[in-house]
A = this chain, B = another copy of it.
Amino acid sequence: MLEPLLDRVKPVDLDAQNRALERQKNLTKPTRALGDLEALSIRLAGVFGTERPNPQSAAVIVCAGDHAVALEGVSAYPQAVTMGMVHNFLSGGAAVNALARSVGARVTVLNAGVMGTLEDAANLINRPVRAGARNIKLEAAMTRAECEEAIELGAEVARAEIALGADFLIAGEMGIGNTTPAAAITARLLNLEARGVTGRGTGLDDTALEHKISVIETVLSRSSTVDPLEVLCEFGGLEIAAMVGVMLEGAASKKAVLLDGFIAGAAALVADRLSPHFRPYLFASHLSAEGGHEKQLEHLALEPLLRLNMRLGEGSGAVLCIPLLRGAAATLREMATFTEASVANRGE
């Protein structure tokens, strides 16, 4: 059922990357003077298939879902905060809204499985697959059908944003307790111990952190699967599955996918395992203060642009990086060459 989506993820345009490299050599600046922006701009040339990429429009899809495992005491906040924060996103009062406005990005909320009933709203896609993921300490988060439905839902919403012009796709998230499924997915896909990928989330103390680790160990002991889709079903999270769909559709549509923090990282690991061509479309944004995030980025061979000790989720760190990617593309696209500017290059 996911094959049509996965089949659409094709390699990036290496010819365009090579043309971009040639162009970059002649731009009016010393060699490598733009540092990491240079490689970034070449990657954007590959994604957008042109040596003068012009990505501007950005869409944040905040995927929301609840987790019955939150009742196991793995979060500093009560589960009702998921619903409360969804209302906050919809009225524009959350961090991701403020940051998105400041960089001119759209925010859409996708209810992939929040507990309780949400009224329809203009910027809400209200399509809960079920009322929260099941308690992963006891059973699989989702059935295969539910998981695939959530992935397709994310892909569908991403397609709608792309139809509106989005060049940058960000999968944000809200779901009290969701660092627990993200840690389980990460531990399994990277073959790591629970302890190595478990952090304080929204602010656990030492005792609560130890408890969370033991819960995740129990979760992991329930299933030995390493198949990425099965891992997602088992340890899941409906919003994490939806994020996988957003990311895969971004790559399938040849757009730049900006990675947010730890939860998004778990979704990216799944997408990366599902498609051999996905990774070049993925751009790291910030390094989260949630420890497992660094391991995800290392595995994906991605270098974060920002190290600001953020740990909020929502897509907030990725949104902050949109101007950096726009800027990288702008240098490649708009700078004059030495010849055009009649400036002597070194040694000339």
Instruction: Chain B residues near A28: list those with CB within 8 A.
Output: 85, 88, 93-95
Bound form: Cα–Cα A320–B330 in Å? 11
Report if A4 contacts B (CB, 8 A). no
**Which of B80, B203, B306, B334 has a CB less than 8 Å from the CB of A306?**
B306
Please determine whether B330 and A101 come into contact, CB atoms closer than 8 angstroms: yes
What does the 1/0 interface line of A55-98 toward B look like (CB < 8 Å)? 00000000000000000000011101100110110011111011
Instruction: Chain B residues near A31: list those with CB within 8 A.
Output: 203
Task: Given A98-B330, A99-B327, A346-B76, decide whether A308 and B37 contact each other with a Cβ distance below 8 A.
Answer: yes
Chain B residue at minimal CB-CB distance from A288 = B35
Report if A223 contacts B (CB, 8 A). no
Report if A323 contacts B (CB, 8 A). yes
* Residues from 82 to 129 in A contacting B, C-beta threshold 8 Å: 84-85, 87-88, 91-95, 97-99, 101-103
What does the 1/0 interface line of A309-345 toward B look like (CB < 8 Å)? 1111000100110111011011101111000111110
Instruction: Chain B residues near A27: list those with CB within 8 A.
Output: 95
Instruction: Chain B residues near A347: list those with CB within 8 A.
Output: 76
Report if A164 contacts B (CB, 8 A). no
Instruction: Chain B residues near A306: list those with CB within 8 A.
Output: 305-306, 324
Please determine whether B34 and A87 come into contact, CB atoms closer than 8 angstroms: no
Report if A21 contacts B (CB, 8 A). no
**Tally of A interface residues using CB under 8 Å:** 64
Bound form: Cα–Cα A65–B330 in Å? 26
Report if A33 contacts B (CB, 8 A). yes
Q: Within the complex, what minimum Cβ distance (angstroms) separates A165 from chain B?
A: 17
Please determine whether A84 and B342 come into contact, CB atoms closer than 8 angstroms: yes
Instruction: Chain B residues near A308: list those with CB within 8 A.
Output: 35-37, 305
Q: Within the complex, what minimum Cβ distance (angstroms) separates A36 from chain B?
A: 4
Please determine whether B80 and A334 come into contact, CB atoms closer than 8 angstroms: no
Instruction: Chain B residues near A97: list those with CB within 8 A.
Output: 334-335
Bound form: Cα–Cα A340–B91 in Å? 11
Instruction: Chain B residues near A343: list those with CB within 8 A.
Output: 81, 84-85, 87-88
Bound form: Cα–Cα A342–B311 in Å? 22
* Residues from 217 to 265 in A contacting B, C-beta threshold 8 Å: none
Please determine whether B35 and A98 come into contact, CB atoms closer than 8 angstroms: no
Q: Within the complex, what minimum Cβ distance (angstroms) separates A42 from chain B?
A: 14
The residue in A102, A306, A330, A334 that gathers the most chain B C-beta atoms within 10 A of its C-beta is: A102
What does the 1/0 interface line of A252-280 toward B look like (CB < 8 Å)? 00000000000000000000000000000
Please determine whether B76 and A35 come into contact, CB atoms closer than 8 angstroms: no
Please determine whether A84 and B311 come into contact, CB atoms closer than 8 angstroms: no
* Closest A-B pairs by Cβ, 9 of them: A93-B336, A35-B309, A323-B323, A84-B343, A102-B330, A35-B310, A30-B202, A33-B312, A98-B334
A-B contact pairs, 15 of them (CB 8 A): A29-B312, A30-B76, A33-B95, A34-B316, A36-B308, A84-B342, A84-B344, A88-B343, A95-B331, A98-B334, A99-B327, A103-B323, A103-B327, A202-B346, A307-B307
